[in-house]
Amino acid sequence: MTKPVQKGVLFVVSLAELGDNIYQIDVHDQEPERTSCYLIAAEQVALIETGATPGAGYIKKALKKLDILPEKVDYIIVTHIHLDHAGGAGVMAEELPRARLYVHPRGARHLIDPTRLIAATKSIYGQKYDQLFGRVLPVPQERIHTPADGETLDLGGGRVLRFHYALGHAGHHFIIHDPTSRGIFSGDALGVRFKALSHLMGFNFTMPSTPPPEFDPHQMVETLDQAARLKPVYIYFAHFGRAEGAGRMLAGLKEQVDALIAVGQRIHAAGGGAAEIEKAIWDLVMKQVAVHGLMDRGHPLLKFMAPDIRLNAAGINHYLGRDKGISNRR
């Protein structure tokens, strides 16, 4: 099979050792510090998330830097099938010939035949699709495993991961609990973290991820509660990086889900739609960041948030329209 080739791209290793044999790989999704993949180098080796196809080179460089041969990677795990998390699964399945790919049962068929997944993503990103996601290759069915809710994966030496179905962001999502590191690999189910803004603010600046079409606030709150019951110390965010203080972050994310839905309901009641919800989310953000002198949405730290806020507004608008049985506004 012909592999996608990126011409003129220099893949500089963006690798961070986090302890407990965990390594973070920045796959430079549009820009640095947007999307992380993680490698657990236990007796058996697991790659968590692949990112989109254009980021595959960063993973290959990281493996080389760590002296891990491609045939020594045993598992590829994707938390869900959105292309910024799993778009590179087909490419990495070719690059890592022994790896078994773990995916939620509802997502497996879309990795085997990604036609509908590609079409749905193109409908959201339009002309930016090729630049963001590149070529998405299918994963052979015989390479795929779909873990049950609560199923474990033994990496040897006492390192056991447990999968928990985690709805709210998408219906094909699970999180991975790693008791050894006292952490959860969260995908998008436990929100997103803006690393640079977090450093400026002095706390982990997080936000729920509520994109269309499957965002459900009730399921998201249940997922946040489920994660809290695991009593993690760390969250390994796909967007972006490891953060300590999981309990505080999870409680804050629950409050934000409630606040965002309340804002959306108020706007819908007044006849507004996605554009008005987006503006209202920005108003909430600007109140928080103004104390640190960020007054202009054109500031790089705030521009970085713009795609997430836009998708969140669209997802809230879609949910409220679906909940009322009416067509979506704007």
Say if residue 329's pLDDT is above 60.
Answer: no
Beta-bridge mates of residue 164: 175
Decide: helix, strand or coil at residue 177. Answer: strand
- According to CATH, what is the number of the domain 15-249? 3.60.15.10
Q: In whole angstroms, what separates CA 308 from the centre of its chain? A: 11
Distance CA 169, CA 193 (A): 15
Banded model confidence at residue 12, pLDDT cuts 50, 70, 90: low
Say if residue 325's pLDDT is above 70.
Answer: no
**So what's the pLDDT on residue 8?**
40
Say if residue 142's pLDDT is above 70.
Answer: yes
- Give backbone dihedrals phi and psi of 94, rounded to 5 degrees, phi first: -70, -40
* Interval 142-147 mean pLDDT: 99
Residue 266's alpha-carbon distances to 217, 220, 244, 253, in angstroms, are: 16, 20, 34, 20
**So what's the pLDDT on residue 34?**
95
